[in-house]
Amino acid sequence: MAQRIPTRLGDGSLVEMTRAEVEADLHAGSEAAAKRAKVEPLTQDDLDHLLDIFTSSAKFSAVDYGDEVVLSFDGSGNSDVAAPVLEQVFYQNHHGADMIELWHHDYSYKAVRTVLSFQTQMLKDAQQQTVIPLNYGAMPDLGRYSQPDGPAPNWSELMPLGRIDEARAAQLEAVEHLEKDMWCVVEAMVAAGVDGIDFDTAGASGDADLLATLRTARRVRDTWPDIGVEIGQAAELVLGMHGQLEYEGTRLAGQWPLGQLRACTAAGATIFGPAVNVNTTKSLAWNTARSCALIKPVTAEATIPVHVNAGMGVGGVPMTPYPPVDATSRASRALVDICKIDGL
Amino acid sequence: MASTHALASGMGGMRTAGDLVARMQMTRGLRLPQAKQYVADKLGCSVADLSDTVAMHDIRRDLGLGRIQVQDLAYADWPGAMEAKFHIADVLDIPINSVERFKARAGLE
């Protein structure tokens, strides 16, 4: 009887699989990415290396000496000590962070704008206490500008009624509000002394959300060439909620990580963060192979650093509040070894 | 999860030169090998030293780049956070926004 190896599903639950089952899932995950995103499947060498990682009985896995990458830690801290500045110090001193990020627990530029003076004071205080680079981050979060929470007509209600032109116009109206809020926050944070801005989960509300982010990123880069601009994606595929929006001649809807990289590079981002969603019912091997296949062409082409999102539910890390060490370390190592990423 | 990534694949942050390499990525958009090489050249060390806590402890001391207080060691007579960032800006030859703002507000320019 074949030996059964402990591993995980995408929801974090512990399962046992044979070596042959793990190998089959690695192939299937890679092929799933190739089929959907029209990327090359992983090479046999890649799959063999992943098989070694996922069939090891060790509880922990790590990269080789010299292969260490930069950890940017969007959303540093857990809000568990109710002291956001102190949490930045914790991440610097105790979690090995290479970069940290101050954030507000209502993680949206629209929400931050209402408490901006307090957030900028907090950022200034954090800069007095930390050495490592400090980002300020929030979500663009375009959906907040739709009624009843925001001023623009609700495009998600208009579309099912077939009122497509009105839905598109509503999104463009929302984009104007969003760009205004993001710029307001960025200007204040730069004045307070921030090192960089993180537009986190860009595209969460689809192509219009991403367009507003790209335009603002370009403006930041042109205004302050030494301020970092990190754009982390919301998902592996840009949803076409509008469907016709373009950035510098390229349609945003339907872009996979490689297309997202090109758009973010054109917008002047200095760090690109692809996100590949986890399928909670598939194995960690399947999910990680799929993530690697989607991200490998990104790092092969990138001219800016690629920091892969590898938190709960993305990048092969299980969708659970406490991602197990065995699973997270394998996903972490696999992304570095296979994709030659610049950071996480 | 943060600690897992740090141990599995991270450079080590301020215990090493992870924060310095990060600065070259975020401000100059350098890919990892180029960012590591740039920092190593500026520090006068090898790329391998950048992820080595023992090597970097001494290098950070010599250049005043800031170190983390540990249980038995305090560095009160060595550069603190903002002071270390002044040195980092000089050593890496990049402007650091918080340092520039500090200088302006303190009337140091």
Cβ-defined contact of A70 to B95 (cutoff 8 Å): no
CA distance A294 to chain B (A): 19
B94 touches chain A (CB under 8 A): yes
Task: Please report residues of B whose CB lies closer than 8 A to that of A196.
Answer: 26-27
Cβ-defined contact of B97 to A226 (cutoff 8 Å): yes
Of A65, A71, A227, the CB nearest to B5: A71
> pLDDT by residue (tens digit) across B43-68?
999 999 999 999 999 999 999 999 99
Size of interface A-B (CB pairs under 8 A): 191
> pLDDT by residue (tens digit) across A159-169?
999 999 999 99
pLDDT of A1 > 80? The answer is no
3-state DSSP helix/strand/coil % of chain A, to nearest 5: 45, 15, 40
- Expressed as residue numbers, the domain containing B26 is 2-106
Do the strands A14-18 and A4-8 form a parallel or antiparallel pair, or are they unpaired? antiparallel
Helix, strand, or coil (residue A271): strand
Terminal C-alpha separation, chain A: 39
Q: Residue range B14-25: average pLDDT?
A: 98
Q: What is the largest CA-CA distance in chain B?
A: 44
Nearest CA in chain B to A221: B27
- In angstroms, rounded to a whole number, what is the distance separating the alpha carbons of residues A105 and A119? 11
Nearest CA in chain B to A135: B26
Cβ-defined contact of A93 to B14 (cutoff 8 Å): yes
Question: Which residue bears the tokens 């560095």?
Answer: B75
- In angstroms, rounded to a whole number, what is the distance separating the alpha carbons of residues A212 and A329? 35
Helix H or strand E segment including A102: strand A100-102
- In angstroms, rounded to a whole number, what is the distance separating the alpha carbons of residues A88 and A100? 6
- Taking phi over 0 as left and psi of -120 to 50 as alpha, with beta for the rest, A115 belongs to alpha
> pLDDT by residue (tens digit) across A242-265?
999 999 999 999 999 999 999 999
Q: How many domains does chain B have?
A: 1
> pLDDT by residue (tens digit) across B20-33?
999 999 999 999 99
ipTM above 0.95, yes or no: yes
Of A69, A193, A195, the CB nearest to B26: A195
CA distance A227 to chain B (A): 6
Give the DSSP letter of residue A235.
Answer: S
Ranges of each domain in chain A: 1-57+279-344, 69-273
Class of domain A69-273: alpha beta
Lowest mean pLDDT among A67-81, A137-151, A290-304, A318-332: A67-81
